[in-house]
Amino acid sequence: MVPGFWDANPKAMFFSGLFLGVAVASSLGFGVILGSLWTGKPVGGQVAVAAGTGEVPTNPGAVEEQQPAPPANPVQPFDEKNDHLLGNKNAKVTLISYSDFQCPYCRRFIPTIQETLKKYPKDVRVVFRHFPLSSIHPFAQKAAEASECVTKLGGNDAFWKMHDKLFAASEKGDLTNDVLLTLAKEVGVDQNKVKECLDKDEMKARVEAFFASGNDSGVEGTPATFVNGKLVSGALPFSMFEAELKAAGAKE
Protein backbone atom coordinates (compact mmCIF):
# COMPACT_ATOMS: atom_id res chain seq x y z
CA MET A 1 0.00 0.00 0.00
CA VAL A 2 1.25 3.48 -0.88
CA PRO A 3 1.58 5.53 2.32
CA GLY A 4 -0.79 8.56 2.51
CA PHE A 5 -0.23 12.07 3.85
CA TRP A 6 -1.36 11.17 7.38
CA ASP A 7 1.07 8.21 7.44
CA ALA A 8 4.09 10.48 6.94
CA ASN A 9 6.38 11.25 9.84
CA PRO A 10 5.52 14.33 11.98
CA LYS A 11 8.49 16.33 10.71
CA ALA A 12 7.43 15.91 7.08
CA MET A 13 3.84 16.85 7.99
CA PHE A 14 5.02 20.05 9.71
CA PHE A 15 7.00 21.31 6.73
CA SER A 16 4.23 20.38 4.31
CA GLY A 17 1.69 22.36 6.38
CA LEU A 18 4.02 25.35 6.65
CA PHE A 19 4.56 25.41 2.89
CA LEU A 20 0.81 25.20 2.28
CA GLY A 21 0.09 28.07 4.72
CA VAL A 22 2.69 30.37 3.12
CA ALA A 23 1.32 29.61 -0.34
CA VAL A 24 -2.26 30.46 0.71
CA ALA A 25 -1.22 33.70 2.44
CA SER A 26 0.81 34.80 -0.56
CA SER A 27 -2.12 34.15 -2.89
CA LEU A 28 -4.49 36.20 -0.70
CA GLY A 29 -2.01 39.07 -0.44
CA PHE A 30 -1.49 39.12 -4.19
CA GLY A 31 -5.26 39.24 -4.67
CA VAL A 32 -5.63 42.23 -2.32
CA ILE A 33 -2.90 44.15 -4.16
CA LEU A 34 -4.54 43.44 -7.51
CA GLY A 35 -7.87 44.63 -6.11
CA SER A 36 -6.27 47.84 -4.87
CA LEU A 37 -4.71 48.54 -8.25
CA TRP A 38 -8.02 47.83 -10.01
CA THR A 39 -10.21 50.04 -7.77
CA GLY A 40 -7.73 52.80 -7.02
CA LYS A 41 -8.41 52.48 -3.27
CA PRO A 42 -5.56 52.05 -0.79
CA VAL A 43 -4.99 48.72 0.89
CA GLY A 44 -6.64 48.71 4.32
CA GLY A 45 -9.37 51.23 3.48
CA GLN A 46 -9.34 55.00 3.36
CA VAL A 47 -6.35 57.01 4.45
CA ALA A 48 -7.16 59.47 7.24
CA VAL A 49 -6.82 63.14 6.30
CA ALA A 50 -4.91 65.39 8.67
CA ALA A 51 -7.11 67.78 10.63
CA GLY A 52 -4.97 70.84 9.91
CA THR A 53 -7.01 72.34 7.10
CA GLY A 54 -4.92 75.47 7.44
CA GLU A 55 -2.57 73.83 4.93
CA VAL A 56 -5.22 74.24 2.22
CA PRO A 57 -5.44 78.02 1.79
CA THR A 58 -7.80 77.74 -1.18
CA ASN A 59 -10.49 76.17 1.01
CA PRO A 60 -12.93 79.00 1.86
CA GLY A 61 -14.24 77.11 4.87
CA ALA A 62 -10.87 76.40 6.40
CA VAL A 63 -10.35 76.76 10.10
CA GLU A 64 -7.16 77.13 12.06
CA GLU A 65 -6.06 73.88 13.72
CA GLN A 66 -9.12 71.58 13.59
CA GLN A 67 -12.70 71.18 12.49
CA PRO A 68 -14.97 71.73 15.51
CA ALA A 69 -16.68 68.73 17.08
CA PRO A 70 -20.42 68.82 17.82
CA PRO A 71 -21.05 71.19 20.75
CA ALA A 72 -20.92 69.49 24.12
CA ASN A 73 -23.04 72.25 25.65
CA PRO A 74 -25.07 75.13 24.21
CA VAL A 75 -23.02 78.24 23.59
CA GLN A 76 -23.24 80.78 26.39
CA PRO A 77 -25.77 83.48 25.42
CA PHE A 78 -24.81 87.08 24.82
CA ASP A 79 -23.99 88.91 28.04
CA GLU A 80 -24.27 92.68 27.63
CA LYS A 81 -22.02 93.32 30.65
CA ASN A 82 -19.27 90.93 29.60
CA ASP A 83 -19.23 90.53 25.80
CA HIS A 84 -17.96 92.73 22.99
CA LEU A 85 -20.89 93.71 20.78
CA LEU A 86 -21.00 95.18 17.29
CA GLY A 87 -24.30 96.15 15.70
CA ASN A 88 -27.88 96.46 16.90
CA LYS A 89 -28.04 95.13 20.47
CA ASN A 90 -31.72 94.21 19.98
CA ALA A 91 -31.18 92.26 16.73
CA LYS A 92 -32.94 88.92 16.41
CA VAL A 93 -29.92 87.11 14.93
CA THR A 94 -26.81 86.85 17.09
CA LEU A 95 -23.42 85.83 15.74
CA ILE A 96 -21.08 84.71 18.50
CA SER A 97 -17.66 84.43 16.92
CA TYR A 98 -14.73 82.73 18.64
CA SER A 99 -11.57 84.11 17.13
CA ASP A 100 -7.79 84.50 17.38
CA PHE A 101 -5.95 87.72 16.44
CA GLN A 102 -3.05 85.76 14.94
CA CYS A 103 -5.25 83.42 12.89
CA PRO A 104 -5.14 84.12 9.11
CA TYR A 105 -8.54 82.49 8.57
CA CYS A 106 -10.10 84.72 11.22
CA ARG A 107 -8.68 87.70 9.35
CA ARG A 108 -10.13 86.32 6.12
CA PHE A 109 -13.56 86.08 7.78
CA ILE A 110 -13.72 89.80 8.66
CA PRO A 111 -15.10 90.89 5.24
CA THR A 112 -17.93 88.38 5.70
CA ILE A 113 -18.82 89.95 9.06
CA GLN A 114 -18.61 93.45 7.59
CA GLU A 115 -20.87 92.53 4.66
CA THR A 116 -23.31 90.89 7.06
CA LEU A 117 -23.69 94.03 9.16
CA LYS A 118 -23.94 96.18 6.04
CA LYS A 119 -26.73 94.11 4.51
CA TYR A 120 -28.60 93.24 7.71
CA PRO A 121 -28.02 96.22 10.06
CA LYS A 122 -31.29 95.76 11.95
CA ASP A 123 -31.46 91.98 12.19
CA VAL A 124 -27.88 90.94 12.99
CA ARG A 125 -25.53 91.66 15.87
CA VAL A 126 -21.97 90.34 16.29
CA VAL A 127 -20.32 89.18 19.49
CA PHE A 128 -16.55 88.62 19.62
CA ARG A 129 -15.01 86.10 22.02
CA HIS A 130 -11.36 85.16 22.41
CA PHE A 131 -10.08 81.73 21.46
CA PRO A 132 -6.28 82.11 21.19
CA LEU A 133 -4.62 78.97 19.82
CA SER A 134 -1.43 79.42 21.77
CA SER A 135 0.10 76.11 20.65
CA ILE A 136 0.48 77.45 17.10
CA HIS A 137 0.09 81.21 17.66
CA PRO A 138 2.56 82.32 20.34
CA PHE A 139 1.43 85.98 20.27
CA ALA A 140 -2.32 85.36 20.32
CA GLN A 141 -2.82 85.23 24.09
CA LYS A 142 -1.06 88.52 24.80
CA ALA A 143 -2.80 90.16 21.85
CA ALA A 144 -6.14 89.15 23.33
CA GLU A 145 -5.10 90.47 26.73
CA ALA A 146 -3.99 93.75 25.15
CA SER A 147 -7.41 94.19 23.54
CA GLU A 148 -8.99 93.71 26.96
CA CYS A 149 -6.61 96.20 28.56
CA VAL A 150 -7.62 98.71 25.89
CA THR A 151 -11.29 97.98 26.59
CA LYS A 152 -10.75 98.60 30.29
CA LEU A 153 -9.34 102.03 29.49
CA GLY A 154 -11.43 103.05 26.47
CA GLY A 155 -14.62 101.00 26.44
CA ASN A 156 -16.29 98.87 23.76
CA ASP A 157 -15.57 101.28 20.89
CA ALA A 158 -11.87 101.20 21.74
CA PHE A 159 -12.00 97.39 21.71
CA TRP A 160 -13.30 97.28 18.13
CA LYS A 161 -10.70 99.80 16.97
CA MET A 162 -8.00 97.64 18.57
CA HIS A 163 -9.61 94.55 17.04
CA ASP A 164 -9.21 95.98 13.54
CA LYS A 165 -5.66 97.15 14.14
CA LEU A 166 -4.57 93.80 15.58
CA PHE A 167 -5.80 91.86 12.58
CA ALA A 168 -4.21 94.35 10.18
CA ALA A 169 -0.90 94.18 12.06
CA SER A 170 -0.93 90.37 12.22
CA GLU A 171 -0.85 90.23 8.43
CA LYS A 172 2.40 92.20 8.42
CA GLY A 173 4.30 90.49 11.23
CA ASP A 174 4.38 89.24 14.81
CA LEU A 175 2.22 90.83 17.49
CA THR A 176 5.05 91.54 19.89
CA ASN A 177 4.54 93.60 23.03
CA ASP A 178 6.06 96.64 21.32
CA VAL A 179 3.55 96.30 18.49
CA LEU A 180 0.69 95.91 20.96
CA LEU A 181 1.66 99.07 22.81
CA THR A 182 2.02 101.03 19.58
CA LEU A 183 -1.44 99.96 18.46
CA ALA A 184 -2.92 100.86 21.85
CA LYS A 185 -1.47 104.35 21.51
CA GLU A 186 -2.98 104.66 18.03
CA VAL A 187 -6.37 103.73 19.47
CA GLY A 188 -6.03 106.62 21.88
CA VAL A 189 -5.53 105.01 25.30
CA ASP A 190 -2.65 105.48 27.73
CA GLN A 191 0.22 103.34 26.47
CA ASN A 192 1.87 103.13 29.89
CA LYS A 193 -1.31 101.88 31.53
CA VAL A 194 -1.69 99.18 28.86
CA LYS A 195 1.90 98.07 29.52
CA GLU A 196 1.22 97.89 33.25
CA CYS A 197 -1.96 95.91 32.57
CA LEU A 198 -0.04 93.43 30.40
CA ASP A 199 2.90 93.13 32.78
CA LYS A 200 0.58 92.27 35.65
CA ASP A 201 -1.44 89.77 33.57
CA GLU A 202 -4.58 91.61 34.62
CA MET A 203 -6.66 90.26 31.72
CA LYS A 204 -5.21 86.76 31.51
CA ALA A 205 -8.03 85.15 33.48
CA ARG A 206 -10.68 87.00 31.43
CA VAL A 207 -9.24 85.74 28.14
CA GLU A 208 -8.95 82.22 29.55
CA ALA A 209 -12.61 82.36 30.61
CA PHE A 210 -13.65 83.18 27.04
CA PHE A 211 -11.53 80.30 25.77
CA ALA A 212 -13.06 77.91 28.30
CA SER A 213 -16.59 78.88 27.29
CA GLY A 214 -15.80 78.11 23.66
CA ASN A 215 -14.13 74.85 24.58
CA ASP A 216 -17.20 73.82 26.59
CA SER A 217 -19.39 74.50 23.54
CA GLY A 218 -17.33 72.33 21.20
CA VAL A 219 -15.03 74.92 19.62
CA GLU A 220 -11.73 73.36 18.54
CA GLY A 221 -10.59 75.71 15.80
CA THR A 222 -10.98 79.26 14.57
CA PRO A 223 -12.96 80.97 13.33
CA ALA A 224 -16.00 79.32 14.88
CA THR A 225 -19.25 81.25 14.72
CA PHE A 226 -22.54 80.41 16.36
CA VAL A 227 -25.54 81.71 14.40
CA ASN A 228 -28.36 81.84 16.93
CA GLY A 229 -26.70 78.89 18.63
CA LYS A 230 -25.84 76.86 15.52
CA LEU A 231 -22.12 76.29 15.05
CA VAL A 232 -20.81 77.34 11.63
CA SER A 233 -17.19 76.38 11.07
CA GLY A 234 -14.62 78.21 9.01
CA ALA A 235 -13.94 81.42 7.13
CA LEU A 236 -16.93 81.20 4.80
CA PRO A 237 -17.35 83.90 2.16
CA PHE A 238 -20.50 85.98 2.50
CA SER A 239 -22.10 84.25 -0.50
CA MET A 240 -22.07 81.00 1.47
CA PHE A 241 -22.57 82.42 4.96
CA GLU A 242 -25.70 84.32 3.99
CA ALA A 243 -27.70 81.10 3.78
CA GLU A 244 -27.15 80.62 7.52
CA LEU A 245 -28.27 84.18 8.22
CA LYS A 246 -31.49 83.77 6.25
CA ALA A 247 -32.18 80.41 7.90
CA ALA A 248 -31.89 82.16 11.26
CA GLY A 249 -34.44 84.81 10.21
CA ALA A 250 -32.35 87.71 8.94
CA LYS A 251 -34.14 89.93 6.41
CA GLU A 252 -32.97 92.93 4.42
**Residue 61 or residue 201, greater confidence:** 201
Same domain, 97 and 165: yes
Same domain, 154 and 85: yes
CA dihedral 73, 75, 76, 79 (to 10 degrees): -170
pLDDT recorded at residue 66: 54
Residue 35 scores a pLDDT above 80: no
Assigned domain for 47 exists: no
Same domain, 103 and 219: yes
Q: Alpha-carbon torsion 41, 43, 44, 50, what sign?
A: negative
DSSP state of 41: P
Same domain, 82 and 169: yes
Same domain, 23 and 98: no
DSSP state of 216: H
Assigned domain for 55 exists: no
Own/partner long-range contacts of 238-246 (Cβ < 8 Å, ≥24 apart): 238/111, 238/112, 238/115, 238/116, 240/60, 240/61, 241/112, 241/116, 242/116, 242/119, 245/93, 245/116, 245/120, 245/124
**146 close to 198: Cβ distance less than 8 angstroms:** yes
Same domain, 131 and 235: yes
Assigned domain for 53 exists: no
| Backbone φ and ψ of 251, nearest 5° | -135, 150
Q: Which domain holds residue 31?
A: 11-36
**Residue 155 to residues 2, 32, 85, 188: CA-CA distances in angstroms?**
103, 66, 11, 11
pLDDT recorded at residue 232: 96
Stretch 77-102: mean pLDDT: 97
Same domain, 145 and 73: yes
Q: What are residue 97's DSSP bridge partners? A: 128, 225
Measure the CA angle with vertex 37, ends 34 and 41; round to 5°. Answer: 115
Question: What CATH number does the domain containing 113 carry?
Answer: 3.40.30.10
pTM of the model: 0.74
pLDDT recorded at residue 112: 98
Same domain, 118 and 222: yes
Assigned domain for 18 exists: yes
Assigned domain for 4 exists: no
CA–CA separation, 102 vs 174, rounded Å?
8
Same domain, 128 and 209: yes
> How many domains, the chain?
2
pLDDT recorded at residue 72: 64
| pLDDT, tens digit (0-9, with 9 covering 90-100), for 184-227 | 999 999 999 999 999 999 999 999 999 999 999 999 999 999 99
Residue 51 scores a pLDDT above 90: no
Same domain, 73 and 21: no
Same domain, 83 and 27: no
CA–CA separation, 98 vs 20, rounded Å?
62
Same domain, 83 and 158: yes
